[in-house]
Amino acid sequence: MARTKAASVDVKCSIRAPLPKLSAPCKACSTGPPPARRYDQVMARNPVLHLTERGLYCPAGDFFIDPWRPVPRALITHGHSDHARTGHGAYLATHAALPVMRHRLGPITAEGICYAETRRIGGAIVSFHPAGHVPGSAQIRVQVAGEVWVVSGDYKTGGDAISTPFEPVPCDTFITECTFGLPVFRWQPEAAVMAEINRWWAENRAAGRISLIGAYAFGKAQRLLAGLDPGIGSILTHGAVEATNAVLRAQGLALPETRQVTIEVSAKTHPGALVIAPPAALAGPWARRFGPAATAFASGWMALRGHRRRYGVDRGFVLSDHADWAGLNAAVVATGATRVLATHGYTAAFARWLEGRGLQAGVLETAFGQTEDETAE
């Protein structure tokens, strides 16, 4: 059945044939971006890391970083599912990242490492450094014979209350994500966004409505919890969020009191409550028990009206676990890297931009993240 196969092709899990990376020209100025270079066009002879079918590979240390197919040895930046996948022989991640990984992946052979602790693997020296993305998230530094590469994983440069803050790591080659690598993405300080969310909740409560907010179960949900004002009312959670809360609380993360939504919970039992659920649950029958609730979504994508309207929620709060345009640029500069490879986002545009600023830059086609405009982070 060729039909079904074509229609359900899974872009995320396959390595796509390299399509031309030209983007659509603008109606306003009718100039298209010049094509960015692929990574192999800017690559040195014996690179510290290179791209294989299974993921980013370090020949000197015989390990992979965030591989998307099963490998014997995987170094993992953080517990999100596009980075930490099942089926690897052995995992290495920060101590703080491991509990969530075990929760999501089941029994795995894994070893923990502290931030900044160095370890020799074969001919490579590796260390993990805070990425500020979610609890336990790391950038991975790999040094082979005096040459230093850093894989950013996902990161954000603005701080939050739950993750160890991002630290720039000096390197020669920086492999950076660029989920929000366009100048239209500019974040407000977290405190300002949280104040808006609390105000929205209080208004809904005053109007006798439940507040339903969509947020990813690991990371965004806890970040919201840490910033919510529990004085406004009770906080309810979807099962997927509550399970992650339990894992992080056991690690010592202080979160306000939450109540998991069960069959007995409704708008009647908890009037004016705020409910945190994964985005998919908001649209489904699960959310109906709360009646005509006010709905919102917390994501960097909410910076764009088109995304917000497509999502069909009342409010979009611009709160991202990734760096904005200014953050990405600052991070690149802070590493002092002379070569930057962009992955995970608006890669062609970001690489081309960096090239214009005098860096050697290219695009690394990985299977991280979603396609550029899905409402996911």
Partner 1 sequence: MNRFAVLFQSLDGTTSSTARTLALAAYLREAPEPDRLWTIALLTGRRPRRVITAGKLAEWAAEAAGIPDWLFAESYSVAGDLAETIAAILPPAETTTNRSLSDWIATLRALSAQDEPARRAGILAAWAGLDATERFLFNKLLTGGFRMGVARGLMQRALAQATGLDEATLAHRLMGDWSPDTTTFAALITGDGAQASRPYPFCLAHPLDADPDALGDPTDWLAEWKWDGIRGQLVCRDGRVFLWSRGEELVTDRYPEIVAAAQALPEGTVLDGEILGWAGAPLPFATLQRRIGLKTVSRRTLAEVPVIFMAYDLLEADSTDLRPQPFATRRAALEALATDLPPELPLSPLARFDDWATLAAHRQAARDRGAEGVMLKQRTSPYHAGRKRGDWWKWKLDPFSLDAVLIYAQAGHGRRAGLYTDFTFALWDGPALVPVAKAYSGLTDAEFAEITRWVRAHTTDRFGPVRQVVPELVFELGFEGIAESPRHKSGLALRFPRMLRWRRDKPAAEADRIETARALLAHPAPRAYL
Token pair in block for residue 16: 């796509």
Position 76, amino acid: I
CA distances from 55 to 37, 66, 69, 74, 108 (A): 19, 7, 7, 10, 19
Instruction: Indicate the residue among 151 and 274 with the shorter CB distance to Zn ion.
Output: 151
What does 154 interact with, of partner 1, Zn ion, none (CB < 5 to 8 A by kind)?
Zn ion
- What is the DSSP code string of 45-97? SS-SSEEETTEEEETTTTEEES-SS--SEEE-S-SSTTTS-S--SEEEEETTT
CB of 66 to Zn ion, least distance (A): 8
Our separate counts of H helices and E strands in the chain read 10, 19
Nearer to Zn ion, 52 or 370 (CB): 370
Measured from the CB atom, the residue of 82 and 190 that comes closer to Zn ion is: 82
Cross-strand partners of 277: 214
Q: Which among partner 1, Zn ion, none contacts residue 61 (Cβ within 5 to 8 A by kind)?
A: none
Query: Tokens 């306003």 label which residue?
Result: 28
Partner touching 186 among partner 1, Zn ion, none, CB below 5 to 8 Å by kind? partner 1
In the complex, the smallest distance separating the C-beta of residue 201 from partner 1, rounded to whole angstroms, is: 14
Q: Would you say 276 or 296 has its CB closer to partner 1?
A: 296
Residue 191 binds which entry of Zn ion, partner 1, none, with Cβ cut-offs from 5 to 8 Å by kind?
none
Q: Which helix or strand (DSSP H or E) is residue 316 part of? A: strand 315-317
Tell me which of partner 1, Zn ion, none is bound by residue 34, counting a contact when its beta carbon lies within the kind-specific cut-off of 5 to 8 angstroms.
partner 1
Q: Which distant-in-sequence residues (6+ apart) come within 8 Å of 243 by Cβ?
A: 103, 217
Closer residue to partner 1 (CB): 57 or 353: 353
Q: At what angle do helices 239-250 and 98-105 cross, to 10 degrees?
A: 140
When the beta carbons of 27 and 268 are compared against partner 1, the nearer one is: 27
Q: Give me the least distance between CB of 132 and partner 1, in Å please.
A: 22
Taking the complex as a whole, how short is the minimal distance between the CB of residue 316 and partner 1, in angstroms? Answer: 9
What's the closest the beta carbon of residue 80 comes to partner 1, in angstroms?
20
Shortest reach from residue 284's CB to Zn ion, in Å? 24
From the list partner 1, Zn ion, none, pick the one residue 314 interacts with, judged by a Cβ distance below 5 to 8 Å according to partner type.
partner 1
**What letter represents residue 238's amino acid?**
H
Of 166 and 368, nearer to Zn ion (C-beta) is 368
Q: Produce one character per residue of 38-72: b if its CB has 16 or more CB atoms within 10 Å, e if not.
A: bbeebbeeebbbebeebbbbbbbbebbbbbbeebe
C-alpha distances in angstroms, 280 versus 178, 179, 231, 327, 359? 24, 21, 28, 29, 40
CB 107, min distance to Zn ion, A: 23
Question: Bridge-partner residues for 119, per DSSP?
Answer: 126
**Residue 82 binds which entry of partner 1, Zn ion, none, CB below 5-8 Å type-dependent:** Zn ion
Shortest distance in whole angstroms from residue 271 CB to partner 1:
19
Question: Residue 259 binds what, of partner 1, Zn ion, none (CB under 5 to 8 Å, by partner type)?
Answer: none
Distances (CA, A) of 313 to 187, 223, 282, 296, 307: 20, 20, 9, 5, 10
Q: Identify which of residues 249 and 309 has a Cβ nearer to partner 1 in the complex.
A: 309
Tokens 């079918």 label which residue?
A: 53
Q: Applying CB under 8 A, which residues contact partner 1?
A: 2-4, 6-9, 11, 16, 19-20, 22-34, 182-186, 294, 303-307, 309-310, 312-315, 346, 349, 352-353, 356, 371-374
Binding site for Zn ion (CB under 5 A): 80, 82, 154, 368-369
